């Protein structure tokens, strides 16, 4: 997409490696935080997870301990992991749209907008489904609704 939008900047391998390393470290720290907080819970209910995959929310439903800290941690980490990439995509698309508006031919602008709109739709579905899964009020926790959203998230995305 960079060539049709007339970008002259190419990402260096050092910056690419740094971005991969930061993503790996953030993923590791997030998993470590969730696992550490989960180890403080006691599980006295059924040990069968009635879900399609083992995730934080279905595990919290099995706990008979106070899960307020785990829910807060999920909100903070999930918010950070959703907000930062969304802002990065939004900022990059501001630059992309500015570049598209400088394209002289209407056919070139139309082709560029077509490519960008499909990408933005995919990004919107991805982050929208994550937001729907993890950022709904705890009073609306329906097991069937969680199953449907997890199937949508894992198969469609």
Entry field: residues in the chain = 157
**Contact yes or no for 69/60 (Cβ under 8 A):** no
Of 138, 124, 155, nearest to 74 by C-alpha is 138
Are the CB atoms for 152 and 128 separated by under 8 Å?
no
Residues 129, 132, 135, 137, Cα dihedral to 10°:
-170
Task: For residue 153, give Cα distances in angstroms to 19, 72, 125, 134, 156.
Answer: 25, 22, 9, 11, 6
pTM, rounded to two decimals: 0.69
Taking only the tens place, the pLDDT of each residue in 126-157 is 888 777 777 776 555 566 666 777 777 677 66
**pLDDT value for 31:** 92
pLDDT in tens, 43-89: 887 777 776 667 777 788 788 888 889 989 988 998 888 888 888 88
Residue 35 has pLDDT above 60, yes or no: yes
Q: Say whether pLDDT at 2 is over 60.
A: no
User: What are the residue boundaries of the structural domains of the chain, listed by start?
Assistant: 4-156
């Amino acid at each position: 997409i960079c060539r049709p939008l007339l970008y002259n900047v190419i990402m260096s391998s050092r910056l690419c490696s740094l971005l991969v390393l930061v993503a790996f470290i953030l993923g590791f720290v997030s998993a470590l935080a969730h696992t550490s907080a989960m180890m403080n819970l006691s599980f006295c209910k059924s040990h069968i997870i009635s879900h399609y995959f083992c995730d934080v929310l279905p595990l919290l439903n099995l706990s008979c301990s106070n899960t307020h800290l785990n829910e807060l941690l999920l909100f903070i980490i999930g918010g950070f992991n959703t907000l930062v990439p969304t802002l990065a995509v939004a900022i990059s698309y501001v630059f992309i749209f500015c570049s598209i508006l400088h394209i002289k031919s209407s056919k070139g602008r139309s082709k560029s907008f077509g490519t960008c709109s499909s990408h933005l739709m995919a990004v919107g579905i991805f982050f929208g489904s994550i937001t729907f899964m993890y950022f709904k009020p705890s009073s609306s926790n329906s097991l069937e609704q969680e199953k449907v959203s997890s199937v949508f998230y894992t198969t469609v995305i």
